[in-house]
Amino acid sequence: MAKLKYDKKTGRLLFTKQMRKEYTLLFPMMAPIHFEILGEVFRKLGYNCQLLETNGPDIAQTGLKYVHNDTCYPAILTIGQLINAVQTGGYDINKVALIITQTGGGCRASNYIHLLRKGLKKAGLSQVPVVSLNLSGMEKNPGFKLTIGMIRKAIAAVIYGDSLMCLRNQCRPYEVNDGETDRLVSKWQKYIIDKMTNGKGYKLKDMSELLMRIADDFHNLELDRSERKVKVGIVGEIYVKYAALGNNNLEKFLQDENCEVNLPGILGFVLFKIDNRLEDIKLYGGSKLKRFVCQKLMNYCLKVEEVLISSISRYDEFVAPSRYEHTKSLVKDVIGYGTKMGEGWLLTAEMLELAESGYENIVCTQPFGCLPNHIAGKGMIRKIVEINPKANIVAVDYDAGAPKVNQENRIKLMLSIAKENLEKAKVEI
């Protein structure tokens, strides 16, 4: 067993180089398509990581047992999923470690890691190390290091995930052969993973070629678009927006309601976070080196974004993601760019973008008590409708104590208005 080592200043349990060789590193689930590719990237880099796919009421109950119930719902679920896995997943508790993201911003999400350690201690699992995955230089560990190569591969995984998610959601409601779209997603996931584990597929040229081929394959699917369907966009706090565990399988529910779903990609959130760093330096000053690095990363991500948009926009039947700069411009004089806690102004911008691109029916997913979400999401609905009267938005709170049937009834009410609007549009045509 690896010898336990602690940070001399903080007393924090460290993830050591020996642990990297011997320990299983557990990831909480959020976006399945993206995270399965990311998981393989980390394995190739020498981490024995495992993505958790557990669900059910035990997750929330475990979270509530070890995290105070006034903490936001994503914390309860991610911490609950991790601790529940250590307790019931059959792992050697002396050879398992956990990893969780930290943005370094003002949102409570940056404190999940401390709540997780507190929960582990309460559960009698204080020997389990927790690794912070962040780009802000917080909490360094001898056995875990972010490198330029790792960041490039992670960005590639995000891009491929965004592409597959975007194309899947625009094809699946219209497929002639049931399950064909999902089989195509699985085929490309395996192909991308094989490429990336062999050190390929993450350079701009490689991404451009693969993204074109992915779009070609989805274009060639046998689809029947004769029936116009209600188009619904999903926005909100990033975890509840993507994780089926957090939103009670919202995508599946909307699919069963015969809707076409649009989930804005993760790359937009990545760009938003990098942009925030640059905005801070512009307003308050800061390290020239930090500004240089952030600007380089921003420029690279914008190049990658262009490759993604170009691959999808070649086909008229697909709606490609909007460019980040356009999305940002939509909220000029609507909400300040200094509104950046949580999803900040990006949340308002994504709703305006969805309404502009034909997905005017929107579910705004909110963890109960998430102040940034309530301000930039629910609090901006009236203004969004003033700008685009076609916007039909419902804000839905997600919490351990919120009944699923109440959430679905609120969404059904929004969908009933959407269906009425769709019928009116058919008559006008």
- Each residue's pLDDT tens digit, 56-87: 889 999 999 998 877 888 989 999 999 999 99
User: How much of the chain is helix, strand and coil, in % rounded to 5?
Assistant: 55, 10, 30
How high does pLDDT run on average in the chain? 92
At residue 297 the predicted structure's pLDDT band, cuts being 50, 70 and 90, is very high
Instruction: Give 363's strand partners.
Output: 234, 394
Please give the pLDDT value at position 117.
93
At residue 91 the predicted structure's pLDDT band, cuts being 50, 70 and 90, is very high
Asked if residue 427 has pLDDT above 90, the reply is: no
For the chain, give every domain's residue range: 17-145, 147-228+266-320, 229-264+322-429
d(CA 250, CA 26): 25
Selection from 178, 177, 174, 176 nearest residue 259 by Cα: 174
Which residues have C-beta within 8 Å of that of residue 6, sequence separation ≥ 6? 12, 13, 14
Average pLDDT over every residue of 293-311: 95
Asked if residue 136 has pLDDT above 80, the reply is: no
CA R_g for the chain: 22
Q: Which CATH number fits domain 17-145: 3.40.50, 3.20.20, 1.20.1530, 2.60.40?
A: 3.40.50
> What is the four-CA torsion angle of 105, 139, 282, 151, rounded to 10 degrees?
-100
Note the residue count of the chain: 429
Please give the pLDDT value at position 109.
67
**44-48, 63-67, 156-160: segment of lowest average pLDDT:** 44-48
Question: Tokens in use for 274?
Answer: 């990098």
d(CA 56, CA 124): 23
At residue 135 the predicted structure's pLDDT band, cuts being 50, 70 and 90, is confident
Asked if residue 310 has pLDDT above 70, the reply is: yes
Q: Which residue reads 């980390």 in tokens?
A: 42
Average pLDDT over every residue of 223-252: 94
Asked if residue 347 has pLDDT above 80, the reply is: yes
**Contact predicate 78/5, CB 8 Å:** no
Average pLDDT over every residue of 297-309: 96
Which residues have C-beta within 8 Å of that of residue 373, sequence separation ≥ 6? 236, 237, 342, 343, 347, 364, 366, 367
pTM of the model: 0.93
Please give the pLDDT value at position 44.
85
Q: Which CB contacts under 8 angstroms, 24+ apart, belong to 287-293? A: none
At residue 396 the predicted structure's pLDDT band, cuts being 50, 70 and 90, is very high
d(CA 109, CA 136): 14
d(CA 88, CA 81): 10
In the chain, % of residues over pLDDT 70:
97
Average pLDDT over every residue of 258-279: 94
Please give the pLDDT value at position 96.
95
CATH architecture for residues 229-264+322-429: 3-Layer(aba) Sandwich (3.40)
Asked if residue 106 has pLDDT above 70, the reply is: no
- Each residue's pLDDT tens digit, 107-131: 666 778 889 999 999 999 999 999 9
Please give the pLDDT value at position 105.
65
Angle between the N-to-C axes of helices 266-284 and 344-356, in degrees from 0 to 180, rounded to the nearest 10: 130
Selection from 170, 227, 245, 230 nearest residue 412 by Cα: 230
DSSP alpha helices (H): ranges in 27-104? 32-44, 57-66, 73-88
Q: In what order do the strands lie in the sheet with 392-398?
A: 259-262, 230-236, 361-367, 392-398
